[in-house]
Structure 1
């Protein structure tokens, strides 16, 4: 058998929790961990059995001979790291949101395209079975022409200002805020299901008891798609009490929604479950520590994303069970995030996308 391709992980938080085990499950050798603090990086590398640590990505690539780099650092650092990896000829998987702004994202895409390397974005939830089945059902015409969309959620995860979260989440200068941390997944989901957004109006409120200069913990977006569908993205991570989620798409012939992870469809024939297609089942994963069980919902789809990265590294066709998220998708998502921020800065003014 040929040797496993070597990968470098940049980022010692989510990078160690999800990137490292997902890369290994996909058949990579994780050859090094890059962080900013040598002592912390050493501790976290030891915890996940990575031998070599670095504080400089270019050095890490040169010393390990890595052919792939995954980036799990604050958004404002993504562009510089990605460009370094691309210049060294590495295939790349970058976390979302792709960059600090649209201009940086476009520069990353242009460099990756010119270098001819595989370029993927960390939208692993494209492989979440319920989301993938809704997208497939819409594409197959099960609800006719989509007309109305509701994606709404309330979560208590940052309702308490003392809650421990990545520092960048509430640092606007680092690309933080709930819109980037979470909304980047939702705008990607919306595009996969329904295509491109035509126009939107948005606000970025802070619900929890945080300083006025903290980045937002909530977002409300009213949108119209280019295909005519309309809807609302409304999410807050700062709401005390139990979590609640609504994911619903209504069309001319029926409605799709998710109920406790099960996709439902209602039409003239009544209400029924929509079984997950066999090719959308995720690989089984287990936590070696009960405290890590909560991360499993991210790990399984991330393995699929890393499998796509390995296919690109080895020059094989990409998997086609779901559309693989590339830097093209990252740029499109950044255009939406920038438009949402422009609208919010103008008290919800209507913004039309090109």
Structure 2
């Protein structure tokens, strides 16, 4: 870090790369700056040149690593570990998009190699809505936790705003909603309740060569039962999700990414007074994520998703996708 400013380089100029780039540009230049961006697709680099002419466009991934204190990896999942290893070997920190990888054995090896120099971009780690849920739980709104349930549904997959990435997002090797979306809620369960284990699951791949269209799973977070259902074509919404935590005194839930609600004694649900839409909540979470990246790179304690947490999520995700087909 030069003059106390963290230099972040970005590998991957898709939707996620652009989101974090905008977040960096919106931050104080004394805290973070972008050292450069690279994507192997000429069309992506041309878009960056037109949209962000002030951002250096570097020649390759090696140039990004050399120019940066921290490397943000926003390329397709199968490429994550190669980029991450290059950055770690060069003494840089790594902030990686989820999933950490798709090869579980290789991910385990990487986590053992990397130590504490990496983190994964699960924004629920910085979500104000999640902080509200945690406050309610601490205040006794749930009591003794008894179960977690996760429900996700999509009108189509990929979602309309992801259409340009369908070549990998709708294929079995790297894509599917379990890796892209369910992983967030598995991370949330692990972070708030406990490590994930004891999985039984089924998955449906009704369209040849395409990613999954339905999953059902049961597992444990710590010693708490978790039930999970996900499907495509079962809602009119582009993206619908509910994460529900129940106990002997009540329940709290997170709806559609950013709305915290708690169940009242009469069974109705009360929304948090300061609830934000996902569009408004996202930049706040990204700003807080970047603050965590600074602490990570400085070797200080941080709140980001750790590599072991991300590995645990990946192990469950890949086990779901290789479970008994429906």
Shorter chain as denominator, the TM-score bin is 0.7 to 0.9
1:309 aligns with 2:293: yes
Q: Distance in 2 between matches of 1:45 and 1:326?
A: 33
Report the aligned-residue RMSD: 3.1
Instruction: Provide the TM-score with structure 2 as the length reference.
Output: 0.84
Counterpart mapping for 1:318-333 below 5 A: 318=302, 323-333=303-313
1:145 Cα shift? 1.9
Instruction: Provide the TM-score with structure 1 as the length reference.
Output: 0.78
- Does structure 2 conserve the Cα–Cα contact (< 8 Å) formed by 1:159 and 1:240? no
CA distance 1:55–1:111, shift in 2 (3 Å): farther
1:101 Cα shift? 2.1
CA distance 1:55–1:159, shift in 2 (3 Å): closer
CA distance 1:214–1:147, shift in 2 (3 Å): same
CA distance 1:47–1:56, shift in 2 (3 Å): same
CA distance 1:42–1:163, shift in 2 (3 Å): closer
- Does structure 1 conserve the Cα–Cα contact (< 8 Å) formed by 2:132 and 2:260? no
Q: What does residue 34 of structure 1 align with?
A: 38
Q: Distance in 2 between matches of 1:2 and 1:221?
A: 49
1:205 Cα shift? 2.3
Q: Distance in 2 between matches of 1:202 and 1:106?
A: 22
1:225 Cα shift? 3.5
1:7 Cα shift? 1.3
Q: Distance in 2 between matches of 1:38 and 1:181?
A: 25
1:75 Cα shift? 0.7
Count, aligned residues: 318
Q: What does residue 336 of structure 1 align with?
A: 316
Question: Can you list the C-alpha shifts for 1:230-284, whole angstroms capped at 9, x where unaligned?
Answer: 23211224335246543322112222234672421335x976747579xxx99xx
Q: Distance in 2 between matches of 1:334 and 1:16?
A: 21
Q: What does residue 171 of structure 1 align with?
A: 171
- Does structure 1 conserve the Cα–Cα contact (< 8 Å) formed by 2:157 and 2:177? no
Q: What does residue 53 of structure 1 align with?
A: 57
Q: What does residue 246 of structure 2 align with?
A: 250
Q: Distance in 2 between matches of 1:154 and 1:81?
A: 32
Q: Distance in 2 between matches of 1:168 and 1:160?
A: 13
CA distance 1:311–1:333, shift in 2 (3 Å): same
Q: Secondary structure of the residue that 1:231 maps to in structure 2? A: strand
1:35 Cα shift? 0.8
